[in-house]
Structure 1
Amino acid sequence: MHHFGRIMGPKRKLTFAHRLSPEVKQTKVISQKCKRGKRMSPGKSERSLKDSPEYDPQAGVSEITFTESDYSGPDFSVIELHKSVIKGYHAYKIRPPFTKQPTRLIVDREYTNIKDLNACLVWIPSLDQFPQNVHEMVTDTKRFIKLSDIADLPIGHVPRSLAGLFRSVLDEGGEIFAEATGEPVPSFPPWPAPNEEGGGVVLPASYFIYAKQNIKMVSSQLKNLLNALKEGSGMMVVLK
C-alpha cells in the first residue's frame, strides 16, 4: 500500500547560530572578517590596557594655546585631543562599553583599506583585558548585546582628516588610544552633516597620543593640522 503525502526529510538540527539575534549575528560577521584578515591590524592583539600609560579621568582639562614657548618649556608625555569623534557607527553598529574607569579603545592601522591608505580603526580591547565581572555586561540594551559579543572588534574609524598624522605616529612605534565620551549621535557641526559624505552617525570621543618620535614636533604638526581644518575649531588639545 502506498501512502501519499509529504515526504519528511531528516530533522534539521537547531544550532547555536540559529538562536542568535540578528544583532549578535552581525557582530559575529564582523568578527569573522577580522579573523580572515580583511580588517585585522597586525600587532593590535599584542597591545594591553594594562601596559598603557595611566590616565586619570578626574584630571582637569584646560585648553592649550600653542606658542613657540610651549616647545622649550616643560616636557609632556601625552597629547590629548578632546571633543573629537569616532566615525562609522552607522556601519559597525557596535556600542563600546561605558565603564566606571573609562575604557581605553585601541587605535591601529587598517592595512587593507584601498580607498584610504591612512585609514585607522578603533578597536575594543580583547576580553581578557577587562575584569571578569564585566564580561557579561550588556553594552547595548536595545539589542541586548554583551561585552563578550563585541570584545576585540572594530567599532569605527578615526576621522579621515586626522588619520594621516595618527598613522605616522603609529608607524614610528607610538601608541594611540580613544575613549568614547558619549552615546552614538548623528554627525554634528563642525563635522559633515549626517547625509553628507563623511557624516552618518558618530561617537563623541577623545584621543590620547603617545608618540615615540619627538612628541613636541607631533604636537606642532597637530596644531597646524587643526588650524587648517574646518572641524579643527571644535576640537581641544591638552598637553600632559
Structure 2
Amino acid sequence: MTACSANPIPLPTSTPLPSVQVRLDPLLEWSKSAMQMCSRQIPERNWVIVPADDPLSTTGESTVHIYWGSETNGSQNTFLLTSEHLVIVVNPTLPVTSLSLAELQDIFSGKINRWDEIAEDLPAAEIEVWYYPPNLSIMENFFRWSGLSSENLSPLGLFAPHPLELRNAIAENPLAIGILTTRWMDDTVEGITIEGNQNTSEFPVLAAVTTSDAFLQEWLFCLQNQIR
C-alpha cells in the first residue's frame, strides 16, 4: 500500500494595516494618552506615535505632525486642535507674583542678574534662568510674545531639553525662573503675571497632514474632542 499525502492547505495571509506615523512635538506629550485612546477606537490604521525630533521619524506620505504653532495656518492640510498658553514660572517660595515686560526682558537677556535688582525685599542672589533649545516650538512662541530673540538671550541661561526637566529644575531651585505651558503646570511651580505685555500668550496646537485619509480625519476629530 502506498500512503496518500494530501496537498498542503495554504494558510490565510493577513494584509498588514496601513501605517500612519504621528510625529509629536515634545511640548505636546501631555496629549499622548488621548492619542493612544483614539488609536484604539480607530483600529483600521496602525498608528505609530514618535517624537518629532526622533532621527528615525520620517515625513512620508502618511504622516501627521502635531505641534505648537505660532499662528493658525490657513492651509487646507493644517487643522486646529486646541490652544495652549505660555506661562512664566518661578519657584513657589520666591515672593514674586508679577514682573513688568521690561523686567522680564532684562532677566532673560542677562541685563538683570540678581533678584534684589527687581526689589529690595527679594533675595540678594543670582537669578537662574531656564529656557529651551531653539528648535523647540515654545521658543519661537516665547520670542513672539516677549519681544526677545535668540540673539539677545543671556549666554548664562540654562537649557532644558524638555518641559518636564525645566519644571523639575524650577521646583528644585528657589531662585529659578523659566517658561512652561499651562498643561505642564503643577503645584511645584508658580505662574506669574507679566504686566504691560499686549501680545497674546495663547498659541494654537496644530496638526499638519501630508495625505487625505478618512480614518486620519476621524482620528484627528477624536483627538480634538479629547484635548480641547
TM-score range with shorter-chain normalisation? under 0.3
More strand by share: 2
Q: Give me the TM-score of the superposition, normalised by structure 2.
A: 0.25
Which structure has more relative contact order (CA 8 Å, sep 6+)? It is 2
Larger Rg: 2
